[in-house]
C-alpha cells in the first residue's frame, strides 16, 4: 500500500543515515584525539582500568625522582669515601717513612695533620640536599640511614603499597678516629700510627664498598622502574589508543555509506510523488 502520510522507506533510510552519521562522528573523534576510548561512556570497564594504570605511571614518575635523589646522595658519599681511602693510603705511606730513624718527624707530622684536615673536610662536605651518609647524624635530625622510595606495588584490586630501600650511613666521623691518632715524633710512634691508620683504612674501604653496593642497587632499581613505566604506558596505549590504519579505512567506508544513505533518503522522499501518476 502506498500512502502520502506514512513513508516507510524514508523512515528506514533516515534511521540508516543517522546510524552512519553517528559512527562517522565517533570515527572522526577517534582520529582527531588519537584515542578509541577517550571517556567512560566509550567503554567504562576499559576506561577504568586505563585510569588506574595511568595513576600508577604517575606514581612511577615520583618513584624515579626519589631514586634519582637517593642515587645522587649515595654517589656523593661514595665519592667522598673513595677520596678518604686515597688520603689514608697517603698517610699510611708517611707512617711507613716515619719508621726510619733518619726521617724528618716534624715534617711528616705536619703532612699528617694536613691530611687529617683534608679528611675532616671531605666528611663534612660529602652531603647532597642536606643528607650526609659519612656523618654520624645523616640529616641533622639524628637519622642513621637514608630511606629511598623504590617501587609502587599493586596486587589485584588492593590499594598499592610503597616499597623503600634503606641506605645506612657509614659514619666515618666515629669510625675514623683522627683526633685520637698518635702523633709521629719518632720511629716508635710512627709504627703505632701505622697500625691506627691501617685500621682506619680498613673501615674506609669497607664503608666505600658498602656505599658502592647501595649505589649500584639504586641505579638498577631506577633502570627497572623506567622500563616498567614504559611497559605500562605501552599497555595503556594498547587498551585505549586508536588503531589509525583501521580508523582511516573505516572513515573512508563510512563516508561512502553516508553518500549512499543521502541518496537513498532522497529517493525515498521522492516516492510519494509517483502516486500523482495514478490520477492522470
Q: What is the mean pLDDT of each run of 10 residues along the chain (280 residues)?
A: 80 92 90 88 90 92 95 96 96 93 90 95 94 93 94 85 94 91 93 94 96 96 95 92 91 93 88 78
Contact call for residues 101 and 188 (beta carbons, < 8 A): no
| Predicted pLDDT of residue 98 | 92
**Residue 107 falls within a domain, yes or no?**
yes
Instruction: Report the Cα 159 to chain-centroid distance in Å.
Output: 20
Rounded CA gap, 145 and 167, in Å?
Answer: 5
Q: Which three cell numbers stand for residue 7?
A: 513513508
**Residue 229 falls within a domain, yes or no?**
yes
User: Please, how many CA atoms are within 13 Å of residue 29, restricted to the half-sphere of its CB?
Assistant: 11
Closest CA to 65 of 119, 129, 17: 129
**Residue 51 falls within a domain, yes or no?**
no
Please identify which residue in the block is written with the cell numbers 521522492: 270
Helices 105-125 and 187-240: angle between axes, nearest 10 degrees: 20
Domain of 211?
61-241
**Residue 122 falls within a domain, yes or no?**
yes
| Predicted pLDDT of residue 7 | 83
**Residue 46 falls within a domain, yes or no?**
no
Number of domains in the chain: 1
| Other CB atoms within 10 A of residue 67 CB | 24
Rounded CA gap, 176 and 200, in Å?
Answer: 5
Report the CATH number that the domain containing residue 198 is assigned in CATH: 1.20.1330.10
Phi-psi region of 105 (alpha: psi -120 to 50; beta: other; left: phi over 0): alpha
pTM, two decimal places: 0.80
Q: What end-to-end distance do the CA atoms of the chain give, in Å?
A: 19
pLDDT in tens, 116-152: 999 999 999 999 999 999 999 999 899 999 999 999 8
**Residue 248 falls within a domain, yes or no?**
no
**Residue 30 falls within a domain, yes or no?**
no
**Residue 135 falls within a domain, yes or no?**
yes
Amino acid at each position: 500500500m502506498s500512502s502520502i502520510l506514512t513513508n516507510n522507506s524514508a523512515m528506514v533510510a533516515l534511521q540508516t543515515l543517522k546510524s552512519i552519521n553517528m559512527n562517522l562522528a565517533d570515527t572522526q573523534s577517534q582520529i582527531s584525539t588519537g584515542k578509541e576510548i577517550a571517556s567512560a561512556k566509550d567503554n567504562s570497564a576499559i576506561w577504568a582500568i586505563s585510569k588506574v594504570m595511568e595513576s600508577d605511571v604517575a606514581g612511577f614518575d615520583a618513584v624515579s625522582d626519589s631514586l634519582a635523589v637517593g642515587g645522587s646522595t649515595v654517589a656523593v658519599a661514595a665519592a667522598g669515601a673513595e677520596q678518604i681511602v686515597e688520603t689514608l693510603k697517603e698517610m699510611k705511606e708517611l707512617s711507613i717513612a716515619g719508621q726510619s730513624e733518619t726521617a724528618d718527624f716534624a715534617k711528616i707530622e705536619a703532612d699528617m695533620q694536613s691530611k687529617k684536615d683534608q679528611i675532616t673536610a671531605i666528611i663534612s662536605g660529602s652531603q647532597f640536599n642536606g643528607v650526609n651518609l659519612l656523618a654520624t647524624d645523616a640529616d641533622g635530625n639524628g637519622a642513621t640511614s637514608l630511606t629511598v622510595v623504590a617501587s609502587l606495588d599493586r596486587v589485584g584490586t588492593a590499594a598499592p603499597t610503597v616499597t623503600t630501600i634503606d641506605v645506612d650511613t657509614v659514619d666515618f666521623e666515629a669510625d675514623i678516629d683522627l683526633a685520637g691518632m698518635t702523633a709521629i715524633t719518632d720511629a716508635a710512634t710512627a709504627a703505632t700510627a701505622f697500625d691506627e691508620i691501617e685500621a682506619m683504612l680498613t673501615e674506609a674501604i669497607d664503608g666505600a664498598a658498602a656505599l658502592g653496593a647501595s649505589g649500584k642497587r639504586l641505579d638498577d632499581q631506577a633502570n627497572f622502574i623506567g622500563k616498567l613505566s614504559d611497559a605500562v604506558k605501552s599497555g595503556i596505549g594498547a587498551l585505549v589508543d586508536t588503531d589509525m590504519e583501521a580508523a582511516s579505512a573505516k572513515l573512508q567506508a563510512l563516508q561512502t555509506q553516508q553518500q549512499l544513505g543521502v541518496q537513498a533518503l532522497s529517493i525515498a522522499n521522492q516516492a510519494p510523488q509517483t502516486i500523482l501518476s495514478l490520477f492522470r
